[in-house]
Structure 1
Amino acid sequence: MCLLLSRLCRQVGYEMYEMDISDRNLLLRELKEQFGQERFDELGEFLLDYVAQRLSDDDADTRDLAEAQEWTVLAYTKPDEVARELAQRLRDKIQQEDVGEVLRLTSLVETLAQPLVEAGFEPLLVDVRRIASEVRENFKAPQEENLLESASRILHISEQIEINQFDRFIYDYFADVDPLSWMPVNPTIAKYNMPRLVITPIGTSLLTNQIDISFEYDWLMLLWETTNLKNIELEDRHPDVADIIHTLKERAIQKLNDGNILDVRRASTEIGAIYALYQGNLEQGKQDVHFLIASDTAISTVIANIIQDFLVGRGLNVQIYQPTGFSTASSEAFNHGADDLLLWLDNLAPSYRESGYRISFNLVASSRALQGYMDTIGMLYADEMIYILEGANPTLINIPKIPMKFDISIINPMKFALMEAGYIDLSNARDIPKQFIFVLDNEVILSNLGTIWKSCKNELLSRDLLYFPGLAYEESFRYDYERVKNWRDRVRLQETLAKVSYLLTKADGDPKALKQDGGLAYEKFSNIDLFHFRVSLDLRVSCSFSNGTLRLRRCGYHEYVNRKP
């Protein structure tokens, strides 16, 4: 469990975790050196038993995942067997003209490169690369090409593999392969032909992937230790780490600019997911708007800028948003940044949705700390959440928004509206579920989870008139409220009443607090001893003040309130 929760692992699905291949290989090598082949074989048997018990249904993706895990075990324990099986499977799939499966298998071989190399299977790896390149070259337009003719040529290549005559190995990545361009058209994308607003929290893989674990493992440790430091703090306290980050930055930029799509995808999880979203063709995304969510730490800022420059250089509209003080340095810092992020989303998402955008949360690279939070608020703001199931056959997963309706009977709309405006006293929060609030001394505010009330606020605030502390309603005001039929106007009115109540309570009933708030435009009528304040550009409320209570008289359009205050 400790390993799963460490930075070495990343959650890619429900109860599913992934480790970077280089990290996995390093740990397995250390395991074998320290505990011997017997312990190594025991681990393999354990994984095979687990796969047999947990991945046994008939779903095609599950079968592929189970098979990949089985071959991973065999590659480390019985490399001769897995090499023969892979070679035979490739021959069969080429004869069947199953291009997608050929590319899946060649990608799988890449993940098993190290144990196959150590077992001496150079020709298999070299020919797999050649096969993948041939597929890429000859199937650019599969609907127009004679697949059988091309497959015959590839079959001839694969038949040259002689498994028992392997000596040395010169490993190279599959430089000509672009498996993402062969991903099937996503049904969600095909169904919704509309522009997207794509929200992408960024991780650290773009820099950490540039570290040579064999020689620079201490760099990885240094990055983890300083991950929450800002630029000034890093340069003052750890100039050596600042130099490391600069070196990794240059490597990352070179990898992105010089590599093919597979190299780019391998270098950056964030960019890889965006390529997958557009089936390898970024031209499809030129109508979309992308926001990268980064912390204001040195590492995150560098990564965000690299990704932005790369995507903008390929025609995408990409901006960066960094919530104030957002980091995992402490719970307080994270919660403060999360609140800032939520407020930003609350202002951003509705305007894009009203403009016809589909909102997508790209959560492939988000940290464990942010993952659960983004999953939750994604159900409020996103139309879909995007993940990639990594492995031998990377799979783009679009999870549509799940219709959610909270049990609003547990919500006191007056108190929640007051907490959204500012806070309430602890003594008034006894009946509010604890998960919705955060207590600061004697003041109670909405927690990150509590802000979920926004999903039902419109329904609650557009109902009956709520009674807020420090406010009294004349019969004429209640009559006018009933005449307000537009639900948006009702919501804005009750939000404004909550704000007025909060300001008065905070100022111990002193109406000067209303005057000091520029948004209310609290003023005295010129000809009578009454006051008015603004709800919106059109709506006004007239009132009088006596004995510490603001008595509301009229509400409606500006001319109406001026005529009958």
Structure 2
Amino acid sequence: MNTKPTIIISPCGTSLLTNGTEENLRKLLNQTTNCKKEELTKEQKDIIDKHIAERREIIQTAGINEARKFSAELNGIITYYSGTPKGEQHILLATDTYLGDSTANMVAEWLEKQKLNATPKNIKNLSTKDIESFRIALSEIVQWCDEELEIQYPRPHWRVVFNLTGGFKSVNGFLQAVAMFYADESIYIFESGSQLLKIPRLPIQLDPEGFIGKNLHAFRRMAILSEELYAEECKEIPETLLEQIDDRVSLSEWGKLLWQKCCKEYYKQTLLPPLSKKLKYSERFEQDAINLSEDRLLIINERLDQLSHYLESLDSDKEVYNPRSLDFKSLKGRPFRSRFSPEPTHECDAWSDRDAKRLYGHFEDNYYWIDMLGNHL
């Protein structure tokens, strides 16, 4: 018997608004599926708002069977728990549209009335209007899975379930692949409408051909610095992992997904060369890094990527990149005066747990030199 707390991720479609709806209204809902609030005419919005209010009133008082009939998402959740909805946390992935946001909120309201924790999660640009916006949204889903889902609900402590009964086919096709990386299982309602199909997470070998390892610097430039590289530089990388415009390429949503799941294996093997041409390592720092354990080396490489990103952002039109995990700043006073030559003048975090190490360095000519890995002052 499973005793782990469970989080269920449910992409939301518009079934709660379209099921059991008369033909003309259904046609209007289908025509405006991808519209944001400001894209609706006043007449369209008035009709839709009236329908939303009526459905909200119905679903707020709906029992199990009625909720199943109206909402594909709720049908999946209720069937998964054999007729009694449970789960410690529910996340409802909403499209970036007026109907999508409304539907996800109504599903969340019903779950909350069952004393369950439910949170709508709006995915920016997620709609089926055009392929470019859609692909940007898929990349955001991968980023959310990596930066929030895996951190807030880590396995094996949590059981992660992707409920793909509702939502849109184009979104769910992508989420089925994502689930192989981030979920314990995916669930669907079989075509009969009452039987649940469960697809467990399969053991898969990531990057079996070593494409990332062989092209690590190119992957880092595209993933960390968001660089567009010449296609010629990436000719050994499979086309499915890249998105090409003219003679330039960047990582596709599949490339970003593979990178997120594989990069840590490479980052804990050895000290990686600087991403930015403005960053240099001293011999002392390189020696400091040789003796690091795998988990500390992983953190150091991630921090150095952030430092490269910071240095590159200094000459860009965008906001200077300096996240809290990096915290690059000038040293107060001159704590290394007479002890080192050249003298470190700046610091950034290496790691903040355990012995709280810092990376110390200085600017010289057009470069920033990492002088050493040292204790927090």
TM-score, with normalisation over the residues of structure 1?
0.58
1:495 maps to: 302
Aligned mate of 1:436, from 203, 219, 241? 241
Contact 1:514/1:522 (CA < 8 Å) preserved in 2?
no
* Distance in 1, Cα, partners of 2:330 & 2:287: 23
Q: Secondary structure at the match of 2:154?
A: helix
SS in 1 for 2:253: coil
Contact 1:532 1:543 survives alignment (8 Å): yes
- 1:544 and 2:340 correspond: no
1:295 CA displacement: 1.4
- 2:287 partner SS: helix
Answer yes or no: is 1:309 the counterpart of 2:115. no
**What residue in structure 1 maps to residue 273 of structure 2?**
467
Structure 1 counterpart of 2:253: 448
Q: Is the 8 A contact 1:202 1:300 kept in 2?
A: yes
Task: Specify the code of the residue in structure 2 equivalent to 1:433.
Answer: P
**Count of residues in Structure 1 that have an aligned counterpart in Structure 2:** 355
1:413 aligns with 2:216: yes
**How far apart are residue 306 of structure 1 and its match?**
1.4
By how many angstroms is 1:381 displaced?
A: 0.8
| Residue 291 (structure 1) aligned to one of 91, 104, 108 | 91
Deviation at 1:209, TM superposition (A): 0.7
How far apart are the structure 2 equivalents of 1:514 and 1:220?
45
Aligned residue number for residue 84 of structure 2: 281
2:175 aligned to which of 366, 374, 377:
374
Q: Report the counterpart of residue 122 of structure 1 in structure 2.
A: none
Q: Do the aligned residues in 2 keep the contact of 1:210 with 1:248 (CA within 8 Å)?
A: no
1:205 matched to 2:18? The reply is no
Q: 2:322 aligns with which of 508, 511, 517?
A: 517
Q: In 2, distance between residues paired with 1:372 and 1:557?
A: 48
Q: Distance in 2 between matches of 1:507 and 1:306?
A: 45
Partner of 1:361: 162
Equivalent AA in structure 2 for residue 480 of structure 1: D
Looking at structure 2, the residues matched to 556 and 416 of structure 1 have their Cα atoms a distance apart, in angstroms, of 29
Q: Deviations over 1:233-268 (max 9, x none)?
A: 21xx2x333233234324433543555433321111
Alpha-carbon contact 2:310-2:321 (below 8 Å) kept? no
Higher-Rg member (1/2): 1
SS of equivalent residue, structure 2 residue 264: helix
Counterparts of 1:320-359 in structure 2, within 5 Å, are 320-351=120-151, 352-353=153-154, 356-359=157-160
Task: Kindly indicate whether the alpha-carbon contact (under 8 Å) linking 2:16 and 2:70 is maintained by their aligned counterparts in 1.
Answer: yes
Q: RMSD of the alignment, in Å?
A: 2.7
**Cα separation, 2, equivalents of 1:429 and 1:505:** 22
* Contact preservation (8 Å) 2:271, 2:289: yes
- Partner in structure 2 of residue 129 of structure 1: none
CA distance in 1, matches of 2:65, 2:362: 69
Distance 1:293 1:515, change over 3 A: closer
Matched, 1:195 2:5: yes
The CA deviation at 1:208 is: 0.8
* Structure 2 letter corresponding to 1:450: G
Aligned with 1:398 (options 195, 198, 220)? 198
Contact residue 210 and residue 251 of structure 1 kept, 8 A: no
How do 1:47-66 and structure 2 match up within 5 A? none
Change beyond 3 A, Cα 1:321–1:516? closer
Q: Is the 8 A contact 1:522 1:532 kept in 2?
A: yes
Q: Show CA shifts across 1:169-193 (max 9, x none).
A: xxxxxxxxxxxxxxxxxxxxx3x22
Distance 1:338 1:386, change over 3 A: same
- Relative distance call for 1:465 and 1:441 in structure 2 (3 A) is farther
Q: Distance in 1 between matches of 2:81 and 2:374?
A: 49
Aligned to 1:563: none
Matching residue of 1:143 = none
Residue 253 of structure 1 corresponds to: 56
Equivalent residue, structure 2, for 1:165: none
Contact preservation (8 Å) 1:229, 1:298: yes
Separation in structure 1 between the aligned mates of residue 149 and residue 114 of structure 2, nearest angstrom: 25
Q: State which of 300, 303, 310 in structure 1 corresponds to 2:100.
A: 300
Shift of the alpha carbon at 1:415?
A: 2.8
Deviation at 1:344, TM superposition (A): 1.8
Q: How does 1:214-233 map to 2 (within 5 A)?
A: 217-233=23-39
Task: Give the strand-richer structure, 1 or 2.
Answer: 2
| Distance across 1 between alignment mates of 2:319 and 2:149 | 30
Higher RCO, 1 vs 2 (CA within 8 Å, ≥6 residues apart): 2
Query: Normalising by structure 2, what TM-score?
Result: 0.85
Alpha-carbon separation, structure 1, partners of 2:322 and 2:222? 18
User: Closer, same or farther in 2 for the Cα pair 1:550/1:429, shift >3 Å?
Assistant: farther
State whether structure 2 residue 358 is matched by structure 1 residue 534. Answer: no
Q: Secondary structure at the match of 2:102?
A: helix
Structure 2 spans left out of the alignment, 5+ residues: 338-342
Contact kept in structure 2, 1:423 and 1:502, CA below 8 Å? no
- Check the 8 A contact 2:313/2:319 in 1, yes or no: no
What is the aligned counterpart of 1:481 among 289, 295, 298? 289
- Give the Cα separation in 1 of the matches to 2:330 and 2:106: 55
3-state SS of the aligned residue for 1:449? helix
1:396-430: CA deviation from partner (whole Å, max 9, x where unpaired)? 12211111222261112333233222223423444
Q: Is the 8 A contact 2:59 2:106 kept in 1?
A: no
Deviation at 1:549, TM superposition (A): 3.1
Partner Cα separation in structure 1 for residue 310 and residue 245 of structure 2: 18
Which has more helix, going by share of residues?
1
